Amino acid sequence: MSEYHIPVMLNECLEGLAVRPEGDYVDATFGGGSHSRAIFGKLGSGRLFAFDQDSDASANTFSDSRFFFIAHNFRFLKNFLRYYRVEKVDGILADLGVSSHDFDVPERGFSFRFDSPLDMRMNRQSKKDAAFILNNYSEEELIRLFREFGEINNAGKLASVIVSARTGKQIKTTGQFVSIISGCIPKNLENKYLAQVFQALRIEVNNEMEALKEFLRASLEVLNGNGRLVIMTYHSLEDRLVKNFMKAGNFEGVLEKDFYGNTNSPFRLINRKVITPSEDELRSNPRSRSAKLRVAEKVA
């Protein structure tokens, strides 16, 4: 059986968190549990709170009175910490990549490598899947999501082809969908283009950008002074939000100034330059190639 998910930049994440044995920490994206186990291994009396809305992830949990698994989206970070009577934590880690498990299980519909149902839901209790979007969104809505979330140049043509194709019958599978849009795919760029299309759909299905914004706002509220925020991103849309938020405490990256012209930010950047995987890691785990790691410390 293949590993659920190969942790990316594990040592760099741990170094960024600067785990204290007595501290309280959050793994906002539990997945296969590799990051959580590594964090937990450094704890003494401290506690770890792990979030994941994907029901498959619950099979990877472990039993310990200092470990708490929360089967919900990390956008609800503050609410669930409050439920456990936790006001502040000392570090938060989020790996925003889709797990290898989800890409490799055909029925999840995350990959164009298989002919499978158009699903892409992280939370399988949600009613809106990728098929719903393709069959019900207006042409204008499709253009918006492919342009905004996939950064696709011919989003207009792509949306038009989808709307025309669904007039005769519902679009239900990834294979059917790829066949329908084949005329939109630039030559010699098939994999890149399809990755952008599927990324856009996945982001829309899971409302990922709004969830990330809510999570970042909550992180700032629940971190202790000198607490660390460690986030790994995999595409420019996420990375821009994270970079701006760590720089300025807002999503535009605009630094506020006081009366004397001094800039104020709720964070201190630990790594001025983004951290990327080593050559060795890229060789052993090619899926890590687009990962970018940023670390910031909340100003006390």
pLDDT tens digits, 102-130: 555 555 556 777 788 999 898 878 889 99
186-202 as b/e: b if 16+ CB within 10 A:
eeeeeeebbbbbbbbbb
pLDDT(227) > 90: yes
pLDDT of residue 197: 95
Q: How far apart are CA 142 and CA 177, in angstroms?
A: 14
Task: Please tell me the least confidently modeled range out of 119-123, 230-234, 269-273, 294-298.
Answer: 119-123
pLDDT of residue 2: 41
Q: How far apart are CA 202 and CA 184, in angstroms?
A: 19
SS3 of residue 92 by DSSP: strand
CATH fit for domain 10-100+208-298, picks 3.10.20.30, 3.40.50.150, 3.90.650.10, 3.40.50.1370: 3.40.50.150
Q: Please state the domain extents for the chain.
A: 10-100+208-298, 106-206
- Average pLDDT of the segment spanning 43-47: 97
86-99 pLDDT tens trace: 999 999 999 998 75
Fold of 106-206: DNA polymerase; domain 1 (1.10.150)
pLDDT(58) > 60: yes
Which secondary-structure segment (H or E) carries 138? none
DSSP code at position 59? G
pLDDT(15) > 90: yes
Question: How many alpha carbons lie under 13 Å from residue 43 in its C-beta half-sphere?
Answer: 22
Predicted TM-score (pTM) of this structure: 0.88
% of the chain with per-residue pLDDT over 90 = 78
Quote the mean pLDDT of the chain: 91
pLDDT of residue 261: 78
The CA dihedral of 37, 110, 28, 8, to the nearest 10 degrees, is 50
pLDDT(287) > 80: yes
Helix axes 139-150, 190-206, angle to 10 degrees: 110
pLDDT higher at 54 or 10: 10
Contact 40, 48 (CB under 8 A): yes
What does the chain come to in residues?
A: 300
pLDDT(204) > 90: yes
